[in-house]
Amino acid sequence: MDTSAIDNLLGQLRATAASVSGTAAGKVPAPAPGAPDFATVLKNSLDGVSASQVDAMQRARDFELGVPDSSLNEVMISMQKANLSFQQMVQVRNRLVSAYHDIMNMQV
């Protein structure tokens, strides 16, 4: 199978993209100083999901124990927020695993 035409087209696309963005072909721009890296953003997101789940469980426990300031509305809303944030994190994980598999299956 001849892939030279595809490689040539890919090279032209990269050169065009580089000329439009103002960077040299094949160079990846460096991240801005002080910008958070991917691992930090992912950890902060996981911590946020965990915090929302802990908050939802605490509100549910307070409602079950009859704490005067807790209401069923607040409990249900916090539980739904925790559920949505967990589902979102599962989708992010699924995309990361899929990207990992795609990269591992690439032929070099």
Enter the pTM of the model.
0.64
Domain shared by 39 and 92, yes or no: yes
Q: Provide the domain limits for residue 4.
A: 1-30
Domain shared by 40 and 60, yes or no: yes
pLDDT band for 85, please (50, 70, 90 cuts): very high
Domain shared by 63 and 91, yes or no: yes
Domain shared by 91 and 56, yes or no: yes
Give the pLDDT mean for 73-94. Answer: 95
Domain shared by 17 and 38, yes or no: no
Of the chain, the percentage scoring pLDDT greater than 90 comes to 57
Q: Give tens-digit pLDDT for 12-44.
A: 777 777 776 665 545 556 667 777 888 899 999
Domain shared by 80 and 56, yes or no: yes
Residue carrying structure tokens 């963005």: 21
The rounded radius of gyration (Å) of the Cα atoms in the chain is: 23
Q: How many domains does the chain have?
A: 2
Tokens of 55: 């908050």
Residue 70 CA to residue 23 CA, distance in Å, equals 56
pLDDT (0 to 100) of residue 9:
64
The overall average pLDDT reported for the chain is: 84
Tokens of 53: 């789940």
